[in-house]
Amino acid sequence: MIRAAVYCRVSTEEQAAEGMSIMAQKKALAEYAAKNHMVVVDEFIDEGVSARTAERKQFQRMVSNAKKKPKPFDIILIHKTDRFARNREDAIIYKSLLRRDCDIDVRSITEQFEDSPTGKLLEGMMEVMAEFYSLNLSQEVMKGMKEGASQGKAMGMPPLGYRISEAGAYEIVPEEAAVVHWIFETYTKEQKGLLSVAHRLHTDGVRLFGPAGAKYKWSSVGIRVILTNPAYIGNLVWNRRNGAKKGRVRNPEDWIVVEGAHPPIIDKETFDLAGQTLKGRRGVRNPVEDYMLRGMAKCADCGGSMCYYRQQWRAKNGERRYQPQLSCSQYHHSRRCYFNHAPIVEIEATVFDFLSRVVAGKVDVGELDVTFPHMDAVRAEAEDLRRQIDGIGSKFQRQVQAYEAGALDLNDLKTARSRLETERDVLQLRLEETEERISAKADRHADSLRATIRSVLDCARNEGLPPSQRRDALKTVVDHIEYSRRRDALKIVFRVG
């Protein structure tokens, strides 16, 4: 019996335009497998994902599984060539890897290619056509969006205070517009700061504005975005930010600006005043010094990150002094937590003292909090296998219902039962192997962790080295630390593998 894995993919646009659903692909692939004496042992589904890149979670999991020894399946079935990749380079690289290095074929069930030079040529031509279609579609979509924006039509999610009308333009949502009015008024006339405005909405927003007051997790950054958004004076600005690069602002010449595209919520005088106030309050920030624990500390009380905080005071002799501290970022951005803070030197000293006790054998390594970063994919695989096993019963029940409805005869039902039992046995065997890998990793961590701590401790506590180098050394054994001033507790989460 040939063991098959099926790969299905659909983007949101394709499903809407072509009706190419995941269920339709899975059904066609299952029927093909049954007719060709194959048993489906695994399936990988990427829903709402483009094939222009190989950075697809289930696609990468499929390739990772294919590299295992012994190989978990003999063939990968896809509905069409463009389901696998719409990038010619990716198609060549991954098909070659699977066929040459893993001895696993990739087969399109709707496009049969012979195993001959002519067949390879036809397959390559289909891949080129898929890539052309993808690139051309992208250009056409962008062209359509630019034209729509130029006509004042809304593009993307509307900001707070607006919704998209049936005509495709922004229209005001009164209850949300009241929140926007209040933000501008409070900031410009009452002279409240960004953090003060955010904190007031966080604590009192629902009482003041109902559900609209709780639409966002208010923060100083979010308030700044609202105060600088020209949509509130009726201007549509499209292509201002690059969504693929964390919202980085593009060059102004690339923007499309349509004035008076929709009803304003704020008058231009108030909007300009808010902008001037923002500029006037932009003080000189204290420099953030690099330090060893940068990016490694979390607030144990809210789960947020701990950020650099420069505590300043004036000594009795008039000299201005400061001390670098770590403090909860949620407190600084929105007051959603308390002023959870501690001097960085004290936290570092506590960490090193504990690590030294571990190396000296004064701490039971088996009871430490340990995470296995490289085992996340293995745990996810085990969980996925459990879900598939649980689903076998439902699959058979559907076959029974089809039999009772007269859609299947008794022989078909027996065949389906046998196939599902085989599929369940294969999945159970894979689950047991995966769970053994997880258990073996956990059993080995104690000795390797102590040895690793011993090897990096001197480097991590050497203050003559750059903080980044000390941090890299510490990260080989410490995943993160958690601090709570209220409970006077510091927890170290170690990492292995």
Please determine, for residue 137, whether its predicted confidence score (pLDDT) is greater than 50.
Answer: no
**Residue written as token pair 């130029």:** 150
Segments forming the whole domain that contains residue 343: 286-378+435-497
| Structural domains counted in the chain | 3
Per-residue pLDDT tens over the stretch 242-293: 654 445 666 767 667 788 888 999 999 999 999 998 888 765 555 567 889 9
Please determine, for residue 307, whether its predicted confidence score (pLDDT) is greater than 60.
Answer: yes
Domain assignment present for 226: yes
Between 38 and 430, name the one with better pLDDT: 38
Instruction: Name the residue among 91, 25, 35, 100 with its Cα closest to residue 59.
Output: 91
| CATH number of the domain encompassing residue 193 | 3.90.1750.20
Domain assignment present for 416: no
Q: Which of 57-71, 91-105, 324-338, 478-492 has the highest mean pLDDT?
A: 478-492
Per-residue pLDDT tens over the stretch 7-19: 988 865 544 334 4
**Residue written as token pair 């650099």:** 308
**What is the mean pLDDT of the segment spanning 284-307?**
83
Same domain, 67 and 215: no
Q: What is the mean pLDDT of the chain?
A: 79
Same domain, 220 and 306: no
Domain assignment present for 428: no
User: What gap in Å lies between CA 425 and CA 417, rounded to an integer?
Assistant: 12
Which neighbouring-strand residues pair with 370? 494
| Residue finishing a domain among 250, 281, 312 | 281
Please tell me whether the overall predicted TM-score, pTM, comes out greater than 0.75 for this model. no
Per-residue pLDDT tens over the stretch 189-225: 888 888 889 888 988 888 999 988 888 888 888 898 8
Per-residue pLDDT, 19: 44
Same domain, 129 and 39: yes
Please determine, for residue 467, whether its predicted confidence score (pLDDT) is greater than 70.
Answer: yes
Same domain, 338 and 443: yes
Domain assignment present for 481: yes
Stated as kind and residue range, the H or E segment containing 478 is strand 478-484
Domain assignment present for 389: no
Same domain, 11 and 135: yes
Domain assignment present for 166: yes
The token duo for 211 is: 């559900």
Same domain, 180 and 243: yes
Please determine, for residue 481, whether its predicted confidence score (pLDDT) is greater than 50.
Answer: yes
Please determine, for residue 300, whether its predicted confidence score (pLDDT) is greater than 80.
Answer: yes
Same domain, 246 and 127: no
Percentage of the chain exceeding pLDDT 70: 75
Same domain, 301 and 195: no
CA distances, 156 to each of 38, 238, 436 (Å): 44, 9, 47
Same domain, 122 and 229: no
In eight-state DSSP terms, residue 165 is -
Please determine, for residue 457, whether its predicted confidence score (pLDDT) is greater than 80.
Answer: yes
Same domain, 266 and 195: yes
Torsion of CA 119, 125, 131, 135, to 10 degrees: -170
Same domain, 316 and 458: yes
User: What gap in Å lies between CA 301 and CA 338, rounded to an integer?
Assistant: 9
Q: Which of 72-81, 138-147, 431-440 has the highest mean pLDDT?
A: 72-81
| CATH number of the domain encompassing residue 6 | 3.40.50.1390
- Spell out where 115-180 has E strands: 162-164, 170-172
| Residue finishing a domain among 281, 301, 324 | 281
Please determine, for residue 357, whether its predicted confidence score (pLDDT) is greater than 80.
Answer: yes
Domain assignment present for 386: no
**What is the mean pLDDT of the segment spanning 461-486?**
89
Least confident among 79-83, 356-360, 461-465, 479-483:
79-83
| Residue finishing a domain among 147, 172, 195 | 147
Domain assignment present for 312: yes
Per-residue pLDDT tens over the stretch 169-193: 889 999 999 999 999 999 998 888 8
Per-residue pLDDT tens over the stretch 35-84: 888 999 898 988 765 544 445 788 888 888 888 888 899 999 988 877 67
Same domain, 253 and 290: no
User: What gap in Å lies between CA 398 and CA 291, rounded to an integer?
Assistant: 60
